[in-house]
């Protein structure tokens, strides 16, 4: 397998049948994922770790955890409380910038080395940027 990657997630959840929600940071190790990028497997892993940590004995079943929101925090500095390299940019490594070509285009740029990942029509640029951020995070 490749190098292990730790990613922090801000997870809002509640126990099945309860109205009270909780929010906390959970760290996921990519070595625990047999299908990297599979959202269902990620959610299952998060539910399992939350169930083990918070549910009483006899109720420690991943299906007893309802995920309300899962937000990746970053994967460059995986532990809560550490400074993220991209914190001054709201945690975003990739951003929209001028394309350097005719009007109507924007470039998806990498703050790491200011390289251009792609040039897209401005009508699609936000959607493309969102896909890049979801796929690559801070990798």
User: Using one digit for the tens of pLDDT, what is the confidence trace for 57-114?
Assistant: 888 999 999 999 998 776 565 555 556 677 777 778 889 998 887 788 999 998 888 8
Q: Is the separation of the CB atoms in 5 and 76 below 8 Å?
A: no
Residue 28, CA distances (Å) to 18, 44, 51, 55, 95 in order: 25, 11, 15, 19, 25
What pTM does this model have?
Answer: 0.58
Whether 66 and 92 map to the same domain: the answer is no
pLDDT band at 1; cut points 50, 70, 90: very low
Whether 51 and 93 map to the same domain: the answer is no
Residue 72, CA distances (Å) to 24, 69, 119, 124, 136 in order: 12, 10, 25, 23, 11
79 in a structural domain: no
Domain that holds residue 39: 6-74
Q: What is the pLDDT of residue 75?
A: 59
109 in a structural domain: yes
82 in a structural domain: no
Whether 13 and 44 map to the same domain: the answer is yes
Whether 16 and 62 map to the same domain: the answer is yes
Total tally of structural domains belonging to the chain: 2
∠ CA 135-136-139, nearest 5°, is 155
């Amino acid at each position: 397998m490749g190098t292990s990657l730790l990613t922090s997630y801000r997870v809002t959840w509640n126990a099945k049948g309860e109205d009270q929600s909780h929010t906390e940071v959970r760290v996921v190790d990519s070595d625990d994922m047999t299908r990297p990028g599979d959202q269902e497997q990620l959610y299952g892993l998060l539910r399992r770790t939350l169930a083990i940590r918070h549910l009483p004995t006899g109720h420690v079943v991943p299906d007893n955890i309802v995920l309300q929101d899962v937000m990746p925090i970053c994967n460059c500095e995986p532990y809560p409380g550490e400074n993220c390299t991209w914190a001054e940019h709201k945690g975003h490594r990739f951003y929209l910038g001028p394309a350097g070509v005719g009007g109507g285009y924007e470039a998806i740029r990498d703050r790491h080395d200011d390289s251009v990942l792609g040039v897209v029509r401005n009508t699609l640029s936000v959607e493309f940027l969102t896909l890049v951020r979801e796929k690559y995070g801070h990798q």
